[in-house]
């Protein structure tokens, strides 16, 4: 079932779009089945679950996609391929400090809160330039792009508007900033319910969980 779902998804997703399989809440056997089906990029949203899986499976690009608590940063540095969920400068500063201590550079995305739902973390678009200027001063992190979640709604136009907005912000940054510490390469948007819209609007990385593990077509 997992292999069939992945095959169906891969047939649908353009080649330039990375499929990150979100394995949160699924056990090691199911997570290994995802890799056996040809997926190299896996996403987890909780530090403890991630560490458990990392111990068993370290030849995988592990994406950290959930809200990251500052006191847990240290545990994942050097193990994660990309942190999607940098949602404050304080968090970025800690990631920088722990990376420096470990003698490495960590790749991250900045998460924007465009849907403005209370439950969502992320930077506001207002004054985001100031965030970027500050972010570029950290030596042990590389800002590789942006991440956002679509709004919880059945209204596809509302979802599309958010993705269009994120793509515009991404393109503008790409135009104005590039350097060793900041280069827009990854636009992480789209999940099970909205990845088709996200791809149409320029996503190059989708984070998909439920559709991979579902026993019915969704
Ligand atoms: C859970 C989660 C996903 C995957 O969501 P699905 O609806 O299961 O595809 C993607 N991104 C983030 C940040 C998540 O927490």
Atom of ligand 1 nearest to the CA of 85: 13
Residue 169: CB atoms within 10 Å: 18
Per-residue pLDDT at 119 exceeds 90: no
List, for residues 6-60, the tens digit of each pLDDT value.
999 999 999 999 999 999 999 999 999 999 999 999 999 999 999 999 999 989 9
113 with 104: CB under 8 angstroms?
Answer: no
Give the residue whose CA is nearest to atom 10 of ligand 1: 207
User: Ligand 1: which residues within 6 Å by Cβ?
Assistant: 22, 24, 45, 65-66, 191-193, 207-211
Could you give all domains of the chain from N- to C-terminal order, each with its CATH number?
2-213 (3.20.20.10)
126 with 90: CB under 8 angstroms?
Answer: no
Per-residue pLDDT at 109 exceeds 80: yes
CA of 68 to the centre of ligand 1 (A): 15
In this prediction, residue 145 carries a pLDDT of 98
Beta strands in 2-47, from DSSP E residues, in sequence order: 18-22, 41-44
CA of 6 to the centre of ligand 1 (A): 16
Judged by DSSP in three states, 69 sits in coil
Helix (H) or strand (E) holding 186: strand 182-188
Atom of ligand 1 nearest to the CA of 195: 9
Q: What distance in Å separates the CA atoms of residue 140 and residue 201, rounded to the nearest whole number? A: 31
In this prediction, residue 183 carries a pLDDT of 94
In this prediction, residue 117 carries a pLDDT of 77
Quote the longest CA-to-CA distance of the chain: 47
Structure tokens at 69: 């608590």
Residue 31: CB atoms within 10 Å: 23
List, for residues 62-81, the tens digit of each pLDDT value.
999 999 999 999 999 999 99
Which of 9, 13, 22 to probe ligand 1 with, by most ligand atoms within 8 A of CB? 22
As a 3-state breakdown, the chain gives helix, strand, coil percent values, each rounded to 5, of 40, 20, 40
List, for residues 150-185, the tens digit of each pLDDT value.
999 999 999 999 999 999 999 999 999 888 899 999
Give the residue whose CA is nearest to atom 13 of ligand 1: 65
pTM: 0.97
């Amino acid at each position: 079932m997992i292999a069939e779902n992945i095959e169906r998804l891969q047939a649908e997703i353009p080649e330039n779009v990375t499929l990150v399989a979100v394995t949160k809440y699924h056990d090691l056997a199911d997570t290994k089945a995802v890799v056996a089906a040809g997926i190299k990029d896996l996403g987890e949203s909780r530090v403890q679950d991630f560490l458990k899986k990392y111990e068993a499976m370290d030849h995988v690009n592990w994406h950290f996609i959930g809200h990251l608590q500052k006191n847990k940063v240290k545990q994942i540095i050097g193990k994660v391929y990309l942190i999607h969920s940098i949602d404050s400068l304080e968090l970025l500063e800690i990631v920088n400090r722990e990376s420096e201590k470990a003698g490495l550079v960590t790749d991250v995305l900045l998460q924007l809160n465009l849907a403005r739902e209370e439950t969502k973390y992320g930077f506001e678009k207002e004054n985001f330039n100031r965030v970027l200027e500050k972010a570029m001063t950290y030596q042990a992190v590389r800002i590789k792009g942006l991440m956002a979640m679509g709004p919880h709604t059945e209204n596809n136009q509302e979802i599309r508007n958010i993705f269009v907005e994120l793509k515009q912000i991404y393109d503008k940054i790409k135009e104005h900033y590039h350097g060793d510490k900041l280069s827009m390469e990854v636009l992480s948007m789209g999940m099970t319910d909205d990845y088709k819209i996200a791809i149409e609007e320029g996503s190059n990385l989708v984070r998909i969980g439920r559709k991979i593990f579902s026993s019915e077509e969704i």
